[in-house]
A and B are shown apart, each in its own frame.
Chain A
Amino acid sequence: MRMLKVLLVDDEIMIREGFKHLFDWDSHGCEVVGEAADGMEALGQIDALLPDIVIMDINIPIMNGLKVIEVSRIKHPEIAYVIVSGYDDFEYCRQALRLQITDYILKPVNYEEFGSCIDNLKISMYENKANAQADSENREERIISSITRYMQEHLSEEISLSVLADEFHLNPQYISQLFKTEIGVGFLAYLTNIRIEKAKKLLLSTALSVTEISSLAGYSDYRVFTKVFKKTEGVTPSKFRREFLDRDKL
């Protein structure tokens, strides 16, 4: 897996420094290739550096972050954006959704938890790619796609590397390695991601209780589920459901 290029956009140098030094980009397969302090500079840097991921503050001088994304989307539709904002405000969330932001996190940024945000980006990049090319010539790609399909179908059951190893007659270490090389995230991070994604889908499309959804998504203890959900989504499951339904009505 090649290193992903990251561009940091924030008008405050301390925030950029924090991102640069306090998050372990290397171990997440990323490198910071540039910085920008205002909207115009950001546009220029995006054109010049062609980053894979842009970490974007909304409230920046000259042109706001959402506008920058809107403009650069046209030229570079493949770039993933992470909106980082101090504005705890739905208006921004709504606009961000319209722009198909890949992720949205609120300040203050917890650097330990920021990793799961990058993992999610990688997983959605992998899934986009997998959907685009249905049959791969590459053996590794074929294996990983059948493993991930199996995982999707058996989400409510217990899934571990050894279960997968038995199912596919492969070495657990090899499977673990495949996740790292093909998707760029660890097996557990991937599992958590698809479990939470499944839970999100159920929260929005069904009226099932949080406890029921928790077990359908593979969590036998709702406390664990709520904790993990809160960590990755920033809100509890029921708040997530409420806020999304709010937004749809508007």
Chain B
Amino acid sequence: MMRMEIALILVLVFVAFMYFGADRRNTPLHKTFSALLIITPLHLAFDAATVYTVNHLETVPPFLNEILHRLFIGTMVIVVYLFYRYISILVEEETKKPVRFHLAARIYLILAELETLLLPVHYAVTEKGNYSDGIHVSVCYISTAFYLFLCLWLLLKNRKQMDRKKKAAIGVALVIEGIVSVLQAINPTWLISGMGITLMTLAFYLTLENPDILRAELTEQKMSMLYLKSQVNPHFLYNTLDTIRIQAQLNGDKTTADSLMRLSDFFRLSIKTDKQMTALENETELSDAYMELMCCRYPELEYSCDIDPDLGDASVPNFILQPIIENSLLHGLKNKGYRGNITVTAERSNHKQDCIEIEVSDTGSGFGEGVKRRIDEMLLNYDKEKPKTESIGILNVQKRIKLLCGKEFGLSYTENTGGGVTAHIRLPLVREEYK
């Protein structure tokens, strides 16, 4: 019989390995499941030990047998309690209402643990095998029954408010544990309580806790954060900015009014960046708005953008130009006190197929010692690089170009002979669809 326990421990250790290796949200539900994954293998280990000791009463010292037995029952009560916790948190999350049994469940847990510790242990010796019986072992049956009924009650009471998948997971787990417990009670020599607990854990792991679901949850959380961020009504923003602009102009402050106008232009354009691909001229429009604002702040900055108007409708990945320009500003021109210029050009070229070459050239401080090599390496191994804060912008651009346009396209840097650097963005020439 010990072979089954060992197999179950291996299964659970594997599950725990998978589970703890995955990123997950730090919620009470996942914390409870983590606790379950630690306690359950421990419990199974005690289970395996008692399966051995109870059948070798003659050779094992009685006190060792007793300690192992108390540990086995004690951890079992904790495991069943954790299942109750897990299910009650699930129900709370679904119904958004607190479950009222927490105090009763905790008091019962303490009582049951005290009983496990203090009540006398008795063994039944039969031909089929030995097992523990009497008042001590009844603690574990009563505990299982107690918590299973609490869970069943929660499930039935809130069945209408709960998601079908979660309901099914709880239902299956309860049915398995119920059947196994009844079978164990009828055939005390089978010693299958560990199997019930393992199956119950597996039921939750497979339905609600596997790494894919955890990852989906994480993404969903990130998405909903983004969603919440974008909930500031953009119309409110433009309209308010516009009102302030008109006020400034009515007060005779034309300069402020113009700056506010540029700012709302920039806002309007940057909020539109929800598509993956966009027309090149949308990109240059956003960059123009951005640079107009920057030139406003730093009057010695100059900017020019010259693209062939017939490339205006070329389809390019969204939001690739502004980060490159920002990079030139912050790493090139900032070191020169924002004196100098940035030039953006775009033209057709013909290597193997029709391409667009976009160049962002600056008259900044250029690359420092060894920086060029580091950037080249980073852009070459874009898929292996861990983003560092200083280069996250250009790395992100590189990744998106490679992903959306193909591996033969992308971003590279060269040094200008007269100082400063030029960013080259090579893209396939695809026209925006007239959709």
Contact = CB atoms under 8 A, between A and B. Distances in A.
B246 A242 contact: no
A111 B235 CA distance: 20
Given A87-B235, A110-B261, A238-B310, 16 more contacts: A12-B239, A15-B242, A15-B243, A21-B250, A86-B235, A108-B241, A108-B261, A108-B264, A109-B242, A210-B312, A211-B309, A225-B309, A236-B281, A236-B312, A241-B313, A245-B434
Contact of B249 (A18, A210, A223, A236): A18
Contacts of A107: 238-239, 242
A226 interface: yes
A136 interface: no
B281 A239 contact: yes
B13 interface: no
A94 B139 CA distance: 75
What band does the interface of chain A fall in when counting residues whose beta carbon is under 8 Å from B? 20 to 34
A18 B250 contact: yes
A111 B435 CA distance: 33
Contacts, number: 75
Given A108-B261, A249-B434, A86 B279 contact: no
B434 to A, nearest CB: 4
Interface in B241-263: 241-243, 245-247, 249-250, 261
A39 B352 CA distance: 59
A88 interface: yes
Interface of A: 12, 14-15, 17-18, 21-22, 86-88, 107-111, 209-211, 214, 222-223, 225-226, 236-239, 241-242, 245-246, 249
Contacts of B264: 108
11 contacts: A14-B247, A18-B249, A22-B250, A109-B242, A214-B309, A222-B309, A238-B281, A238-B310, A239-B312, A242-B434, A249-B434
Contacts of A87: 235
B159 interface: no
Interface residues of B, number: 27
A88 B281 CA distance: 17
Nearest to B265: A108
Contacts of A109: 242
A22 B238 CA distance: 19
Nearest to A229: B309
A209 B250 contact: no
B376 interface: no
A210 B308 CA distance: 9
Contact of A108 (B245, B310, B313): B245
B347 interface: no
A210 B235 contact: no
Interface string B213-235: 00000000000000000000001
For the complex of A and B, the 10 pairs showing the least CB-CB separation, nearest first, are A18-B246, A238-B312, A210-B309, A238-B313, A245-B434, A108-B242, A14-B243, A209-B310, A226-B309, A14-B246
